[in-house]
Structure 1
Amino acid sequence: MTNDKSISILNDVLETLVDSRDGYQKAAEVADREVFKQFFTHRAAARNAMIAKAQAEIRYLGGEPAEEGTILAKAHRMFLSISSALEGNDEAAVEAVENGEEYLRNKVNDALANEELATTAKALLSGFNGELRADGRLLDHLEASV
């Protein structure tokens, strides 16, 4: 098991976390109802905390975190394209965020399935996985109120 593989995996997840944060920020900007704006703003802050933890783990493993905003060829920039799907429509905002969150959950699950992932990185991503599942339940509840 090498740290290089774990660093690469974590940087891949980090890029998607940045996209998630950016998507939540955009959704907060375009949402109509205050409850949606608050929810999206809160989730963006939660993603910032996850980003900081991922960056710290990458540094702990001896790597350099991917630069925020850097577009790498393999990065999937789902969240950055949601502005075209959102036009002051709460339902569209929730749906776009849900799609992005599903992508992020799959990315984390794929990372956790990698046998070369360092134990500390696996523990970090397992914690993220729990938070992402809880976010999914919150989004389901939010969607039901649209």
Structure 2
Amino acid sequence: MDITNTPTPGALTKEDTIEELNDVTRLMIDSYKGYREAADESDDSWALKSEFNQRAEARSKHIASIQGYVRQLGGEPSTHGTMRGAVHRGWMNFANTFRDDEKGAVESVENGESFLAHRIEDCIEDGQLDTTGTQLLKTAYADVCSSAKFFDRLDDRLDG
């Protein structure tokens, strides 16, 4: 889907933008926590440990940018993930999943990133964001899509 042509906002309020940004922030926090847990649980010799740390750091920067903008708008930024994310982080049970089923774990990461990308895309397209909010989410969207593609390629390689 092409998100370069976003709808022209109508009678937007700051509250609309704050609500949308906070919704995405909660999901991004879930993603950040998942990457951080993945890195923490990964064996130091496992090649993806560095990848998880890099992805967590990038996600953290997007979260901070969005939270900062929500504060500029006079809102209270989300600082916690979602219950769904806590459940989804069950895929991050590395003691079992990553060590016993690398392919299943990679598919879980890919699915989580795809879900996040679609949610960001929906927020951008629904026209409830101001220009700055839209730009912040477009930047985050590019990062999330990059992660989803990386894990998709990795999944393909694991298929052999």
TM-score, normalised via structure 2 length: 0.78
Q: Is the 8 A contact 2:21 2:133 kept in 1?
A: yes
Q: Distance in 2 between matches of 1:45 and 1:144?
A: 25
Q: What's the CA shift string for 1:80-136, capped at 9, x where partnerless? A: 222357252332221111111011001101110121211110011111111222222
Find out whether 1:76 has 2:84 as its counterpart. Answer: yes
- 15, 23, 32: which is aligned to 1:21? 32
Whole-Å separation in 1 of the counterparts to 2:139 and 2:129: 15
Quote how far apart the aligned CAs of 1:35 are. 1.3
Q: Corresponding residue for 1:104?
A: 116
Equivalent pair of 2:91/2:97 in contact (CA under 8 Å): yes
The offset of 1:31, in angstroms, is 3.9
The TM-score, its normalising length taken from structure 1, stands at 0.85
Q: SS of the counterpart of 2:74?
A: coil
Deviations 1:33-76 (A, max 9, x none): 5211111111111111111111111112211111235x5xxx53
- 1:63 alignment partner, one of 75, 81, 89: 75
SS of the equivalent of 1:67 reads coil
1:86 aligns with 2:102: no
Identity across matched positions, percent = 32
Letter in 1 for 2:15: D
CA separation of 1:38 and 1:144: change in aligned 2, threshold 3 A = farther
Point out where structure 2 has 5 or more consecutive residues left out of the alignment.
Answer: 1-11
Aligned to 1:2: 13
Q: Aligned partners of 1:141, 1:92: CA distance in 2, in Å?
A: 14
Unaligned runs of 5+ in 1: none
Contact 1:6 1:116 (C-alpha < 8 Å) held by counterparts: yes
C-alpha distance in 2 between matches for 1:79 and 1:47: 17
Aligned twin of 2:148: 136
Q: Which moved more, 1:89-98 or 1:42-51?
A: 89-98
RMSD (Å) for aligned C-alpha atoms: 2.0
Verify the 8 A CA contact 2:17 2:130 in the aligned structure 1: yes
Tell me the number of residue pairs that the alignment of Structure 1 and Structure 2 aligns: 142
**Separation (CA, whole Å) in 1 of partners of 2:98 and 2:145:** 27
